[in-house]
Amino acid sequence: MYLSKKHICSMVVLAMLGTTTPGFSQNLNAEGPAPFEQGQSEALNPNQVGAVNAIAAHPTDPDILYIGTVNGGVWKTTNATDNSSNPNWTALTDDQQSLSIQALEFDPTDQSNQTLVAGIGRVSSFARLGGDRTGMLRTTDGGSTWATLTSLTGSNISGVAPRGSVIVASADSDDFGSSCAGTGIFRSTDTGATFTQVTNGISGGLVDALASDPSDPSTLYASLQGDVSGCSNDVGIFKSTDTGVSWTKISDAAIDALFVNNSGLHVEIAVGNNDNVFVGIALGRLTGVFYSANGGNSFTSMELPGTFEPNDFFGIHPGGQASIHMSMTVDPNVDHVVYVGGDRQPASNNDGSTGPFAFPNSLGANTFSGRLFRGDATALAGNQWTSLTHSGTANNTAPHADSRDMMFAANGLLIEGDDGGVYVRTSAIDDTGDWSSLNGDLQNTEVHSADYDDNADILGGGTQDNSQGSQLVTAFPQWDVLLGGDGGDFDVDTQSLAGNDQSIRYTSAQNLGGFLRLVYNQNNSLDSFSFPPLTVTSGNVNKSPQFVTPVDINSENPDRIIFGYANSVYESFDQGNTLIELSPSGITAFGFGFGSIAAGAPGNEEQLYIAADSDLFRRTTAGGNLTSVFSSANRIFNVSQSQSDASKAVLVEWFGGVHITSDSGDNWTDVTGNLNSFNPGRLNAVEYASNLYVQTDLIIVGADRGVFVASESTGFTDWEPLNVSLPNSPVFGLNYDHDINELFINTLGRGTFSYEPLFTIIDLIFEDGFDISD
């Protein structure tokens, strides 16, 4: 028989002698996606990774590019102009307490171009989840080392303007509720050791945009949105000419009138080299664009960019996602030209269908790719905007959807960051250029669900805004896309077709759209696929899917699948073809897809746990009701059953602790122990790990800051970190495969990692003449 690399590694379990304790210094392997091939862009090389929220292009060297990713930290490349559009990237901040980067800027006073400041802020499309708001990071050696600036801990840093010992920062929200201390404009004169809230001309409130004048480091612009808690009674655009010491309001009545609501309001300010300033304002969708040729002394209104599809006008936000998906930059050579990015392309039929006749639209877009335009403030009405994608390119190209940042590199090329990574546009000033991916080997994807197909030795998963898919080759980080859009739960059945050397992979897009059943063989080739109809034959037929609908295959009978809809729980006995609603009906409050299901236990395929909001429900017999066996003031976020003993299970509270049962859920014991001493943050995932050849079990917890393990031999109360080299991105999923003694770790910003072996075991010594191909 053929034994794969991973199966060979698993054979060490055969030599286990007696009880061991886990060893936490084993092999941590990056499993990708890095990148997703054939992603939802229409670039010349259409791959995608996770979201890039901030770009800092080196002022003089076009090969050097820094990016700030949503939950994956700061990265750097030194070969951005690689002719194959395949730069090599280095993660610079994996060991920092938070990898949630909202802002990133060079310090223009450092002539060596080695000083940058990154602002920590949560801007994930996945319910704004991310790391702690720990302030800022500063490097003076090009990113090799970073100093933490913690004075603004708790503030969501929306912008930074470093100027030597002076650092100006803005914050658009905070952890303090109704307090006004954490938002507004802040200024430091001691290189970030301390900050003072600026009140000279501008009061506290939500500051969404902080922009610098590239020709005058002392001139700054900011937007003030006011605040629901009354921190500020003023709104509009403000300007400082003394590096943030004092501010003057420069917006007029037409601009101020668009500041109608701070909930979801997004403002972009782009400043050119010659006092040319552009302002974009959006509430869900772009509502106004304004231009000033005199540093904000006066503004003129521009038309809104967009197209007719075919009868209705659609702007740059057909998806209504302007709160975090908008970008703007000024042409470095033509003062009156601006570039803006929105969320996605609309379909061709008034954006009313995603069916086979929905594309191409009027621009030539063939999918929901990026939507960007070039504007000329001096052009006549009706001619101010030109598409920067598709028909506005040489080869009908476009980046990924959901733009976040744009700026020009030193070689004059336009760099854009979005939910699919980082892209470059040649000849942005006219229609002769094209879009290409610069994602290279970036691994910054938000993976919320993953499962391992040990028949084909392939890992797959569902990701935020980057589809769902699986590895192209065993243990290599390149993945292939199955469906576009946001990824749903990803689950693998290796039992049903084991006799045919096949496995079944289930996946979907957001809201359980396009729910797929795919059959793969041992060579990772797709043999067949189908779309199970999920027809309700008993119960409420009006089921409501969630953004990420929890799905779990019964571990004892893989024909049975549980679905956690927003309005109730359903079970299929025929691989998703039909569904019945479980009793009692109406178990709800999963919320955005945050719920956990553990279906099937050793020797009892009827056993089922459902974690839904503050209750854990259980079923133990055929046709039995789901009954609450654990309630909490906190959200019960995840539950896992032992793979060897039906009586054992574990749950975690998101903001609470860890609890175990050894009597099938009748009684629960708090085993949080010393876990909180590691300051883990939220507890997002849990796995009850058992191994046939090891006489002790492990409980593994995935948290905002790492993975932690406790052993049965210590009563599960003595916790320790699993691996200090794991990037400090929130761990959102765990999956232990006892057959190969390997743990898969899903992070919400740094992709998926494998850890092997989980249990420290004596290595197998092969006898002379043993042939692994036999």
Q: What is the pLDDT of residue 591?
A: 59
* Distance in angstroms (rounded) separating the CA atoms of residues 602 and 607: 9
Residue 736: inside a domain, yes or no? no
Lowest mean pLDDT among 286-300, 319-333, 691-705: 691-705
- pLDDT-wise least confident of 13-22, 294-303, 565-574: 13-22
Q: What is the pLDDT of residues 274-319, one digit of tens each?
A: 999 999 999 999 999 999 999 999 999 999 999 999 999 999 999 9
Lowest mean pLDDT among 127-141, 226-240, 439-453: 226-240
With a cut of 70, say whether residue 644 has pLDDT above it.
Answer: yes
According to the model, what pLDDT value does residue 764 have? 33
Residue 356's pLDDT is: 63
> What is the reported pLDDT for 227?
64
Mean pLDDT of 752-756: 93
Residue 589: the pLDDT is: 56
Spatial strand order of the sheet with 155-163 comes to 155-163, 166-174, 184-188, 196-197
Of the candidate ranges 53-62, 104-113, 473-482, 692-701, the one whose mean pLDDT is the lowest: 692-701
* Six-digit token string for 694: 């090891």
Confidence label for 744 from pLDDT (cuts 50, 70 and 90) = very high
User: Would you say residue 98 lies in a domain?
Assistant: yes
pLDDT band at 19 (very low <50, low <70, confident <90, very high): very low
Among 102-106, 126-130, 264-268, 464-468, the range scoring the smallest mean pLDDT is: 464-468
With respect to residue 259, please indicate whether it lies within any of the assigned structural domains.
yes
Over residues 657-676, the mean pLDDT reads 97
Higher-confidence position of 267 and 13:
267
Three-class DSSP category at 723: coil
Average pLDDT of the segment spanning 239-243: 98
Residue 402, C-beta contacts closer than 8 angstroms, at least 6 positions apart? 51, 125, 319, 321, 325, 343, 344, 370, 418, 419, 420, 465
Q: Is residue 472 part of a domain?
A: no
Please give the C-alpha separations between residue 366 and each of 372, 382, 394, 517, 715, in angstroms, as whole numbers. 15, 25, 16, 25, 57
- Asked if pLDDT for residue 445 goes beyond 60, the answer is yes
Is residue 755 pLDDT above 80, yes or no?
Answer: yes
- Determine the Cα–Cα distance for residues 278 and 389; give it in Å rounded to an integer: 21
The predicted structure's pLDDT at residue 482: 82
Three-state secondary structure string covering 664-711: CCCCCEECCCCHHHHCCCCEEEEEEECCCCCCCCEEEEEECCEEEEEE
Q: Give a yes or no: residue 599 inside a domain.
A: no
pLDDT band at 682 (very low <50, low <70, confident <90, very high): very high
The DSSP H or E segment spanning 756 is strand 752-756
**In this model, does residue 766 exceed pLDDT 50?**
no
- pLDDT tier for residue 20 given thresholds of 50, 70 and 90: very low
- The rounded percent of the chain whose pLDDT value lies above 70 is 92
The overall average pLDDT reported for the chain is 91
pLDDT of the residue at 696: 84
363-404 confidence digits (pLDDT tens): 999 999 999 999 999 999 899 999 999 999 999 999 999 999
Share above pLDDT 90 across residues of the chain, in percent, rounded to a whole number:
79
If pLDDT is split at 50, 70 and 90, which confidence band does 767 have? Answer: very low
Alpha-carbon gap, residue 251 to 163, rounded angstroms: 25
Determine the pLDDT at residue 703: 95
Average the pLDDT over each of 15-29, 31-45, 433-447, 615-629 and give the range with the smallest value. Answer: 15-29
Q: Note the pLDDT of residue 205.
A: 86
Task: For the sheet with 116-120, list strands across it.
Answer: 101-106, 116-120, 136-139, 147-149
Distances (CA, A) of 178 to 122, 174, 182: 19, 9, 10
Domain boundaries, position 254:
34-437
In this predicted structure, the answer to whether residue 4 has a pLDDT above a threshold of 70 is: no
Q: How far is CA 390 from CA 152, 354, 433, 773, in A?
A: 42, 19, 10, 51
Confidence of residue 68 (pLDDT cuts 50, 70, 90): very high
Q: Give the residue-averaged pLDDT of 261-276.
A: 91
Rounded Cα–Cα distance for residues 283 and 262 (Å): 9
Neighbours of 62 (CB within 10 A): 17
- pLDDT at position 773: 34
454-492 per-position pLDDT tens digit: 999 999 999 998 888 899 999 899 999 887 788 899 999
Q: Say what the pLDDT of residue 224 is.
A: 93
CA 284 to chain centre: 20
Between 357 and 284, name the one with better pLDDT.
Answer: 284
Mean pLDDT of all residues in 426-446: 97
In which band, very low, low, confident or very high, does the pLDDT at 229 lie, cut at 50, 70 and 90? low
The answer to whether residue 595 sits within a structural domain is no
Are 44 and 436 spatial neighbours (Cβ–Cβ below 8 Å)?
A: yes
* CATH number for 419: 2.130.10.10
Using only C-alpha atoms, what is the Rg of the chain? 27
Per the domain annotation, does 20 fall within a domain? no
Q: What is the pLDDT at residue 199?
A: 92
**Entry pTM:** 0.93
For residue 667, the model assigns a pLDDT of 97
pLDDT of residue 23: 44
- Helix, strand and coil content of the chain, in percent to the nearest 5, comes to 5, 40, 55
Distances (CA, A) of 85 to 88, 402, 423, 520: 10, 21, 9, 31
pLDDT confidence of residue 26 = 61
Residue 613 pLDDT greater than 90, yes or no:
no
How many independent structural domains does the chain possess? 1
* 92 close to 73: Cβ distance less than 8 angstroms: yes
Give the CB-side neighbour count of residue 182, counting CA atoms within 13 A.
Answer: 20
Is 67 part of a structural domain of the chain?
yes
